[in-house]
Structure 1
Amino acid sequence: MRDIVHLIGGSATAGTSGRTSDVFDPNTGQVQARVALASAADLDAAVANAVAAQPAWGATNPQRRARVMFAFKALVEAEMDSLAHMLSSEHGKVIADSRGDIQRGLEVIEFACGIPHLLKGEYTQGAGPGIDVYSMRQPLGVVAGITPFNFPAMIPMWMFGVAIACGNAFILKPSERDPSLPLRLGELMLEAGLPAGILNVVHGDKVAVDAILDHPDVKAVSFVGSSDIAHYVYRRGVAAGKRVQAMGGAKNHGVVLPDADMDQTVADLVGAAFGSAGERCMALPVVVPVGKATADELRERLLPEIAKLRLGVSTDLDAHYGPVVSAAHRERIESYIGMGVDDGAELVVDGRGFSLQGHEGGFFVGPTLFDYVKPHMQSYQDEIFGPVLQMVRAESLAEAISLPSKHQYGNGVAIFTRNGPAAREFAATVDVGMVGINVPIPVPVAYHSFGGWKRSAFGDTGIHGTEGVRFYTRLKTVTQRWPSLDAGAAVTDSSFVIPTMK
């Protein structure tokens, strides 16, 4: 049995807790490894190493820090094939999707390579008589990231890439469900020239999470996961005096107007709803056709496309998606399908009980389609996080806008239309943080910032982009005046009034 350990201070360590968790192969349902679960003492050791290493790294000039990022990017690209297979074997997503997971993370690493420019401050000469003012952004010190199972490459790189480039040391607590890839990323950072102790990978459960949130030397925490846990992380971290950004769940809607390009819209919906088995916070699990004719046509066109979907093991190059991450998650998804039936929605395609020949123990869920879903239904209110598409019919654009706007989540939303004014109104008025116009999964590019609204995000900064740089640094502003070199210059009298530029 393979054992997965921590990376602390540049060295592999099993830790002190003696506790482990099983790592499954979702394709077969079999245990393939054991991952060590950290104790509070293990977390303390990681933070101590980070505290010792950070000052020298923070004092390293930004261009040299950027060179480590360049080297890391090259190493990841060289291992792309093996990393994708590693990811798929523990998560279950197909190889092509794993490559996308890694590549989307590398795009933020590319952004972090520009850190010398991003850390430039501002300067004003002559702000007052003989007075100049300038600002600088300095690292916080030791920061941490708690990342989810569904993007074990992308989200860690979204966090540690920017944080480390800014001069911080980083504690990464990845999901214990698919820990091998995050650990390998930590090893590759060392190979790229990162000093030991700057990136520590500590596996664990709530014990490790609470130790991060309570540790006085951890100055900031970034989190991605479910909304309930995000809220917990935010409250506990802020109470401990930390800067916290905590991204939660989602229930993204796709509004379809009568003038939409229906061929493209159907293709986009099928990919966004069922890709990666729906295990994405930016998946599109709710479609809102406007008008009966639009809804009827959309349903008729969706059915044959759903029927064409091929489920397979992660290494099946022809598969559209693979298994979900665990048996417990499969049961949860299927329970929500049953809940939708009980609440009165029409189950058009039922994905429960799917079995793949030769892989009967795998955690597979077939594609599912509901029609006539109503906003009061629990299966609509909650995030299912599986290959389930729900159709909520609307009579007008105003009603369609109100659905995502009133929902508890506000992560992403999309509209499909050829009508520019309608799209403009939608983007301006919908109460959601990320909007797509004829784009089904509107994840911002790396040099913009990712972040939802309402129960999809706690905290006031987004991940990566310039928001990420602000999150992992603090502003220092210097106001300076140099005395005249003329020995006979007059001395300015003391003033007991607040300085002004009057």
Structure 2
Amino acid sequence: MTGTTDIPTIGHWIDGAVRASESGRTAPVYNPATGAQQAQVALADQAEIDEAIASAQRGYEEWSRYSIAKRQSILFSFRELLNARKGELAEIITREHGKVLSDAMGEIARGQEVVELATGFAHLTKGAFNENASTGIDVYSLKQPLGVVGVISPFNFPAMVPMWFFPVAIAAGNSVVLKPSEKDPSAALWMAELWKEAGLPDGVFTVLQGDKLAVDGLLTDPVVQSISFVGSTPIAKYIYETASQHGKRVQALGGAKNHMLVLPDADLDIVADQAINAGYGAAGERCMAISVVLAVEPIADELIEKISQRIGELRIGDGASHPEPQMGPLITAEHRAKVSGYVDIAEADGAKIVVDGRDFTAPGCEDGFFFGPTLIDDVPTSSRAYTEEIFGPVLEVVRVKSYDEGVELINSGQFGNGTAIFTNDGGAARRFQNEIQVGMIGINVPIPVPVAYHSFGGWKQSLFGDSKAYGVQGFEFFTREKAVTSRWLDPATHGGINLGFPQND
């Protein structure tokens, strides 16, 4: 759409300052709780894409020469500023994404874990040294930054997902071009301003607002050395294939269909609480949300009753209201319609709608993009409602006869992001963690997002590329190694000419 003059326009962050766009293209930014457009975001044209990348290259050339001590000091400053002012960022997230304030604060806290990990980057970016590997010859390795790196982040975590990548990339000496979702773009600008205040040189952190044109610009520009992405599986595959064809490193994290396997010995009150938390938190707009409960019979009826009772007690509304609700709206009206369509599919395929959220309206927010918590029983495993990612507050129950049947269902799916088992049997839990073909596993933990010093990423269609996010793998992704073989010759003993292949005699 073209620009509108009576609402604010959210621009780029280039060369250490907000940059108004001259592209003439914008997209609407809504308050999901009210349904009202509150701003519009610029969509970059090719000239602005080129300008952003060129600025990032200049920033890299300066930043990569900074000492470890100086870089570390700026990272600590960013961490302290973020900790002191994270409430401001949470309000921005709630206003543009819709998740409740406490959930927004939780998102920031998980992102801040990676910032804190990055402050210790000196230990994670050092090389190795072998003296006298051959007579008079030393061999050592250096870990150096890539250069300009691109981060393309989704709407559901406008602060946390970028923080999975940019603290590590910046600590390692790279410059970052962040392309946030056009649905909630303001968090990225807020973080850019915080980096400026922390002392980061201009150009090291750039925010490029845009749509597919901006994405393709990052994927194809030869200056950009790597791409980090989180989003749906079809887009992750496109990102991986396109960026790889242009010679870039890629970590592209895709979609999910996360299962919770509940054994008959589990405490069903605990399971019901955790199913509610994992299925309906952030209105289900999480790649680590639990969307399928595999109930090993005969517990399904009792578990469904407990979950249904808890759904009826949930507070749903504007995430910024008081008292704070527990669940907010979906991101857009279009996404609400998509989620509703999946419930229609499940019903048409013979599933039983136990709790129906399709016609839910939050009091006082009649025009908001709300979708009520939905519980579906007996979902056929052939239904698209089971096989595809819904990305909304829809919890499906599939009844299985045994542990083995549940594991087979999980392992046969196209995704491999996260899964969980609930049981009091340690042997079953240990067997599960070894047999399941999924990248992140919870044992009596419904959303097993690893802490920052481990790494985040799934298997199969949930991850494209060889590197997961943050942790040690993150530092390996954002650095490349040089091996140096060194000899300081003694003129008296250098040995003369030898045309043979170098070897260790």
Question: Normalised by the shorter chain, which TM-score bucket?
Answer: over 0.9
Structure-1 separation of matches of 2:202 and 2:164: 20
Correspondence for 2:503: 500
Aligned to 2:311: 306
**Residue 73 in 1 paired to residue 76 in 2?**
no
**Cα distance between partner residues in 2 of 1:478 and 1:333:** 55
Q: Say whether the 8 Å CA contact 1:63–1:115 is kept in structure 2.
A: no
- Cα displacement (A) at 1:357: 2.0
Post-superposition offset of 1:102: 1.0
Q: In structure 1, how many angstroms separate the alpha carbons of the residues matched to 2:58 and 2:477?
A: 22
- The structural deviation recorded for 1:318 is 3.6
Q: Which residue of 1 aligns with 2:44?
A: 38
Matched, 1:85 2:91: yes
Distance in structure 1 (CA, Å) of the matches to 2:18 and 2:320: 29
Q: 1:220 aligns with which of 223, 226, 229?
A: 226
- Determine the C-alpha separation between the residues in 2 that align with 1:96 and 1:198: 31
Corresponding residue of 2:349 = 343
Contact 2:11 2:19 in 1 (8 A): yes
Q: Which residue of 1 aligns with 2:4?
A: none
Q: Read off the aligned partner of 1:69 and give its amino acid letter.
A: L
What's 1:181 paired with? 187
Separation in 2, partners of 1:15, 1:255: 49
The one-letter code sitting in structure 2 at the alignment partner of 1:53 is G
Corresponding residue SS for 2:290: coil
In the TM superposition, residue 168 of structure 1 has moved relative to its aligned partner by: 0.4
Query: In structure 2, what residue type is equivalent to 1:492?
Result: G
SS at match of 2:90: helix
- Structure-1 separation of matches of 2:244 and 2:401: 43
For 1:215 and 1:63, the matched residues in 2 are separated by: 32
**Paired residues, number:** 498
- Give the partner amino acid of 1:348: V
Corresponding residue to 1:377 among 355, 378, 383: 383
Match of 2:114 in 1: 108
Q: 1:461 is matched with which residue?
A: 467
Counterpart position of 2:329: 323
1:434-445 to 2 correspondence within 5 Å?
Answer: 434-445=440-451
Matches within 5 A, 1:90-489: 90-291=96-297, 293-316=298-321, 317-484=323-490, 487=491, 489=492
What do residues 33-92 of structure 1 show as CA deviations (whole Å, max 9, x unaligned)?
A: 011111121110011111112122111112211211111111112212221111100000
- Is the CA contact 2:457–2:463 (under 8 Å) kept in the aligned structure 1? yes
Given residue 450 of structure 2, which amino acid in structure 1 is its aligned partner? P
Which letter does structure 1 place at the counterpart of 2:313?
K
Write the distance in 1 (CA, Å) between the matches of 2:494 and 2:167.
Answer: 50
TM-fit CA distance, 1:297: 2.1
SS of match in other structure, 1:323? coil
Find the counterpart in structure 1 of residue 494 from structure 2: 491
Q: Distance in 2 between matches of 1:140 and 1:323?
A: 39
Contact 1:16/1:41, CA 8 A, preserved across alignment: no
How far apart, in 2, do the equivalents of 1:491 and 1:110 lie? Answer: 49
> Is the 2:101–2:324 Cα contact (8 Å) retained in structure 1?
no
CA deviation string 1:265-312 (max 9, x = no partner): 111111000000000000001110112x12222112211111111111
Q: Secondary structure at the match of 1:393?
A: strand
Q: Please name the residue that 1:62 is paired with.
A: 68
Taking only the aligned residue pairs, the percentage that are identical comes to: 50
Does 2:31 align with 1:28?
no
Unpaired segments ≥5 residues, structure 1: none
Alignment RMSD, CA only?
1.1
The answer to whether the 8 A contact 1:221-1:245 is kept is yes
2:246, 2:99 → 1: CA distance?
37
For structure 2, the 5+ residue unaligned runs are: 1-6
Equivalent residue, structure 1, for 2:58:
52
- Partner SS for 1:423: helix
Deviation at residue 493 of structure 1 after TM alignment: 4.3
Moved more, 354-363 or 490-499: 490-499
Q: 1:97 & 1:452 partners in 2: Cα distance?
A: 23
TM-score by length of 2: 0.97
**8 Å CA contact 1:62, 1:166 repeated in 2:** no
Answer whether contact 2:259 2:419 (CA < 8 A) is retained.
yes
